Structure 1
Amino acid sequence: MQKRNRMDINSYHQKYFRPSCLKALNLRFENWEFFSPFSEKAQDQIKLPLELTRTPEDTIINYFSVLREAENISRRSCGTVGQARTPFPIAYNFFSQEYKNKVSYDKYFNSFAGIGHTSLIKLFRVPDGKKGIKYFYEIETIEGFKDKKAEYFGYSYGFIQLVYEKEGFRISNLSKYEEDFLCAPYHGWDHNGEDVVGIKYGTWCKLIQLLYPTVKNGYVKYIYFHGNDGADYCFIFVTLTNGTDVEIAQFRKVISEEWKLVNIRPEEECLPKKSTDNL
């Protein structure tokens, strides 16, 4: 790794080695009264109030607000943590019926093993050319493990898709990826959006004629360039807490036309295909 001066090293450490200081977004239901009617009820006995799912964003923020103080830690030396297990069957009912059929309650509950607190710190609607409802999210969790005496902060991100059912918007799919805090600072160009665009769409695809300065709006990056094919391109990235940029959308526009969502796959479309003769 190339040498850096002291100022570069300080900024490097701030970018990759420091956890998020963003405020939590899931701060609804901070009083115990909200959870009281659901106490001791199984997931199939719960009916969500209609106001919790009136809009897609309400559904997501309320879902994570319910989960904020949910805990599934096997080692608890200090007694009850937060709302204990009560929030899990409530949160499960934010899923669509079709998604419940794919993910059982037991599987859902076990997916929170080791987690004692959840903060939603980033939420951004992903542009979708099919007019679907899709959001990027990032969470900060406090996690505890059997063989450790202390808890640790963990960070994860993913995408949430929603559909409208007769009683409001429901989660129809949810992905989750844990963040790594060592690969980004020590290895690879593919953690940085500008490098990803320059190498994948420039060096590999020979598509870039003129690259414009990056436009940043908080943790969202918009990277524009004019292509050798005469079209303009916009790539949207979201910066995670670990400093990695995740590409979430690609747009292409020809002259005066509107921006259109595209899906260029450089690894498949621009790199030489590996020979299978010797396989």
Structure 2
Amino acid sequence: MISLNKTIAYTKSWKHTFLISVVLGILVPLLLISLEPFDNSNTFSYKYIILSGYALCIIIPLLLAHIIENYVYKKQTNRWFVVNEFLYITITLFLIFVFAFFYHFLIVSNLHTFTLKAIWGFAKAFCLPFTPIVVPIWLYLRSKYGVIEVPLSNKKNTKKINSITITGNNKSETLSILESDFIFARAQQNYVDVYFKTEKGVAQKTFRNTLSNIMKQLPNAWQVHRSYLVNLDYLKTVEGNARKRFIRITASEEIIPISQLYYKALSNRLSNSSQELQN
């Protein structure tokens, strides 16, 4: 089962979001014209033009929802999780169905009173058949144009004295440190080892928790591997080749692997901040 707290790629670009909305907006009228789920062939003039109007019922909700999802994305410090994607798809689908419902009855059917029977009939004819067709294509396009961002290091933020508290599943498992003192975390089965800087050097504390839950408590933590979080302010070098890459950090001798999923985002971050990337 896929963890709802797993980090995934996010479609941040308005350009790509508009492209996705147009593709889906074209797809739905084509399905309506070819399948004729409402059995409305030859019942009104300009049928194809009017059915093409359903495209707006796709495009407008997607663009409106993108304003909200971008806000959530920024609030989560440029992170996007499986649970976010699930909620986004569910809520946006509901908006699409509402837009399509009113367009169908007010414009296509020219009705002004709605019954539960009519609503259920619309759901069976429009929502249920098209959802399994449209949603997989929608998810594929969002994945194709999505990225995992690694933000540039902000030196001003690292100087701030922000205290954070990390907790585990057990009540006794708590750790309060400065935000900038977190170095990296490593997951092992049901436990996570958190490494942090102290006056005496690097210290370590173990928590009974998942890596994704620990990540939510660490503002400066960025996932580079399924088992590792790092504070990129301590990043020293990226080494290895296309088959196997790893990173070194300044505060520890630990060799931290980096998966292909996160390598592109990390290399872009290093390029933008003019740091040396070793291949």
Tell me the TM-score normalised to structure 1 length: 0.25
Tell me the TM-score normalised to structure 2 length: 0.25
Which structure is larger by alpha-carbon Rg, 1 or 2? Answer: 2
Task: Name the structure with the higher strand share.
Answer: 1
